[in-house]
Amino acid sequence: MLITIFTPTYNRSHLLERLYSSLCNQSFTKFEWLIVDDGSKDDTEIIVEKFINENKISIRYYKQINSGKHIAINKGVDLAIGELFFIVDSDDKLPENSLQIINERYLPLRNDYTIAGVSGRKAYFDYNIIGNKMDKDLICNSFDFRFKFKMNGDMSEVFRTSVLKEYKFPVTKEKFCPEALVFNRIGQDCKFLWFEDITYLVEYLNDGLTARTFDIRKNSPINSTLYYMELSKFNIPFVQKCKAIINYWRFSIYNKKDNLKSKISKINAFISFLLLPFIVGIILYDHYSRK
């Protein structure tokens, strides 16, 4: 099995049919669909059982106690049998040639273990690409891709499963952890092949994680501040470091576990002092605008 299509899901049974149909229509068939249900209370299990009984594609289903998407990803990585691991959310779908393109791009690089995976483009359902266009394929780490080559927009990363097994999400009592926490760690150490072909179609829902970013990070301050703390120490432009430090303090006020001394020890104190007016400003903005 070359590719594990991995879908973490929570109370999204009404959306799974669309994704399922797009997987059934793939021109490349050497894949499995692995679903980790994060404690859904709807009829997700019944819907998936129907898909399995149709026997059109290889499907495996696992249900866990509600723990958060990042814990579902950890479980998916443990269960995956594919050489590649492709996270596809329940509210999205794939173009018919998505896996064929991924296969063709990956195979020439299969034995180059300095490359952690391949990544095509994400687009809206109307096939308009998210972000600016690429002039050519790139092989580089994710920070160079974003800041040296100035590429923006969501990408469709497909990882070697063996790499993800080495970079697990931290396990805390919090039910959210930014996916970028792990992806940044991989991105600093490893390269990807980045290309322009569309391999993922996305729909941003009002009830999705993207739409609720502030509240989710506020309610998971330990993982959120860990993400911003690490980001501030990566080799990124100074302005981005400053933004990371501001956001570190923005969400650290909701972390009641660590005292101020502990929080200061994890971040650049001098730059934090210089950014104090911005930090206070965004905290006040959050307080008064989100009542």
Mean pLDDT of the chain: 95
CATH number of 3-208: 3.90.550.10
State mean pLDDT over 18-34. 97
Alpha-carbon distance of 9 to 72, in angstroms, equals 9
Which of these ranges, 26-35, 158-167, 199-208, 248-257, has the smallest mean pLDDT? 199-208
State mean pLDDT over 249-270. 95
Q: Hey, what are 59's tokens? A: 């499907």
Alpha-carbon distance of 223 to 288, in angstroms, equals 24
Q: How many residues does the chain have?
A: 291
> In the chain, pLDDT over 90 holds for what percent of residues?
92
* Nearest Cα to Cα of residue 50 among 59, 42, 37, 41: 59
For CA atoms 131, 136, 141, 147, the dihedral sign is negative
Q: Hey, what are 155's tokens? A: 């990408």
Q: In 243-264, which positions are buried (b, 16+ CB within 10 angstroms) versus exposed (e)?
A: bbbbbbbbbbeebeeeeeeebe
Alpha-carbon distance of 11 to 81, in angstroms, equals 25
Q: Strand runs (DSSP E) across 161-215, as ranges?
A: 191-202
State mean pLDDT over 181-193. 94
